[in-house]
Amino acid sequence: MPTSTAPAWSFRHHWMAHAATHATMRPDRPALRYLGATTTWSQLSERSLRLAAALADRGVREGDRVALLTLNHPWFVESVFAANSLGAMAVPLSFRLTPPELGGILSDCTPSAVVVDAQLLPLLLAVGPVSSLTTVVVIGETEEAEGRYRYEDLLAAYEPMELPDVSEESTALIMYTSGTTGRPKGVMLSHRNMQIQAITCIRAMDIYDDSDVGFLTAPFFHIAGLGSIVANILVGSTVVIHPLGAFDPQAVLDAYEREGATIVFNVPQQWDLLCAQPDIDKRDLKLRVISWGAAPASDATLRAMGESFPDALNVAVFGQTETSPITCVLRGADSLRKLGSVGRPIPTIQYRVVDASMNDVPAGEVGEIVYRGPTVTQGYWNKPEETADAFEGGWFHSGDLVRQDDEGFVWVVDRKKDMIISGGENIYCAELENVIAAHPSVLEVAVTGRADERWGQIPVAFVTLAPDTELSLRQLTDFLGGKLASFKMPKDLVTVAGLPRNAGGKVVKSKLPALPSPAAPPSQEPSAG
C-alpha cells in the first residue's frame, strides 16, 4: 500500500493541528481579536511555533508543565498552543491568588517554565524560589535577569518549528479546581477531552461554519474560558477576547456591536445588567446565541433575555472542570417550561443518577449524578488516591445531588458535601439558597449546617442585604412559609457584609461561621476572592 507523505499532525484532532490547517486554508482570516487588534490564523500558528522552538531550546520537553500567569489576551492562547506543540502541559494560574496559594500550586505541578504578564511578575516573585522553574517568559517590558526572557524577543529570535505528532490522548491542560473544601486539585484534561467539548458546543449552539464571532469574557484560568472557544478553534471562526475587569454592561454592549459578536456567554447576573440598559433596543446587535450558566437564572432574567434578544437562541450550560466542562444543556423554549433545570445530559457522555451503593434511583428521587465518557478527566495531577475515590465503581462521581424527571431533564438539588442531615432528614443547601434569594431584601445568600445537640445539624442562612433594608429571622421564615417544609427552615439568620469567595468566585462555606457583621471591622486576613 502507498505510504502517505502528509505530515503526521494533519491526522490529529487537537487545537494545534486545527490552527495549522486554518493557517493553510484561511491564512488571513481573523482568529483572535483583542482591543481592536487582529491575530490571523497564519499569525497564531506561526507565533505559537516560534515560542515552542524557544521553549524547546530552553529544555521544555514532552510531559513537562508550562505555567501561565496572565490576564486574558492572545498571548495566552499562543502560549498554550506552544506548550502543547511540545507535548507539554499548559497550567493556567489564577492571578487572584495570594503568594502562598500560588506557591502551593507551583509546588504541586513543578513547572519547568512560566509565561507571565509583566504586571503580574511581582506576584510570581513574591512566591519565592520554585526549584523546578528554569525559564520565565515575560509578556511586556521587564528587567533582565537570569532565566528571564521577553516574550517578543524570543519570538523574533526563532523560526517556527515543525509541528510534531502529538497524541490526542496526551494531557493538554492541568486546570486547578477552586478548592472550596480543601487545597486545589489539578484536573488533567486531554486533547481528546477538549475536542469532544468542541463538538458539544457545536451541537448545543448550532455552529455550522466559520462565520460566527465568539465573545469571551470568562477568565482563561477558569475552564469556561478555553472551554467556550474550542468550537471556534475547530471550525476556524473568530474569537473576540474582552479585557478582564469589573463588568461594565455599556462597554460590553459597545464591544458586541463593534465586533459583530454572534455567540456570547454570561452568568445570569450579567445578563440582568445587560438587559436593564435603556438603549438595548436601539443597538445594532447580531447576537445569534445567548448562553448562560454557573448559577440559576430566574424567570424574570429569562423573560428579560427573551424580550431583549427575541431572535437569539437561548442556551444554558452546566458542568464542572472535570468534565471539560459541559455535561447538560438546556435550550430555547425549555428554559421557561423547565425553569430551574440544568437541562438534559449531552449525548457524548454516559451518566447515571445513583444512591450511595451505586444503585440507580427512580425518576423524581434524589441521587448523585455520575459520568463516564470522552470528556471526563484523566484524573487529578499527583493525587492517585483522590483520583481512585473520584472514579469509584468505574464512574466519575460529580458530587452533585440531582433529581431527573420523566423527560430526562435534570435539577441540581445540592452539592453532596453541602447536604445537611437534621433529625434524620436531608436538607439541601442549594434548595434553601434558591428560595431565600428570591426575598427582595437579599442580595446574596449561603446556607450551611451548624452542629446541634438535639437535631445533629441545623441550617443557618448567611445573607448580605440590599442597601437600607433589614431582615429578621421571623420575617424570613414568614416569607418562606408555604415554599419550604418546616424542617428545612433556617434556624438562624446571620447578616454579613459579604460572602467569602475563593479565586474562582465560589463561596467558601468553611469561612462562614467566622464572618463579621456589617457593623464590625473587616478581617485583615488576606482574601483570594
* β pairing state of 289-293 and 263-266: parallel
What's this model's pTM, rounded to 2 decimal places? 0.84
CA distance 420 to 448: 8
Bridge partner residues of 461 (DSSP): 447, 493
* Maximum mean pLDDT: which of 5-19, 49-63, 293-307, 489-503: 49-63
- Cell readout for 212 is 460566527
* Chain segment 92-151, per-residue pLDDT in tens: 999 988 898 899 999 999 999 999 999 999 999 999 999 999 999 999 999 989 999 999
The crossing angle, in degrees rounded to 10, of helices 268-275 and 299-308 is 50
pLDDT value of position 503: 58
* Chain segment 233-250, per-residue pLDDT in tens: 999 999 999 999 888 999
pLDDT value of position 500: 87
How does the average pLDDT of the chain come out, rounded?
90
- Cell readout for 429 is 443547601
266 in Cβ contact with 71 (< 8 Å): no
- Cell readout for 290 is 445567548
Who contacts 466 (Cβ-Cβ below 8 Å, separation ≥6)? 440, 441, 442, 443
pLDDT value of position 181: 47
* Chain segment 164-216, per-residue pLDDT in tens: 999 999 999 999 986 544 578 999 999 999 999 999 999 999 998 999 999 99
Question: Could you give all domains of the chain from N- to C-terminal order, each with its CATH number?
Answer: 36-166 (3.40.50.980), 190-416 (3.40.50.12780), 419-514 (3.30.300.30)
Question: Residue 317 is which amino acid?
Answer: V
235 in Cβ contact with 267 (< 8 Å): no
Q: Is 118 helix (H, G, I), strand (E, B) or coil?
A: helix
CA distance 378 to 374: 10
* β pairing state of 289-293 and 313-319: parallel
Give backbone dihedrals phi and psi of 287, rounded to 5 degrees, phi first: -65, 125
* Chain segment 384-440, per-residue pLDDT in tens: 999 999 999 999 999 999 999 999 999 988 777 777 878 767 787 878 888 898 899
Higher pLDDT, 234 or 482: 234
Cα dihedral across residues 343, 227, 444, 422: positive or negative: positive
Question: Residue 117 is which amino acid?
Answer: D
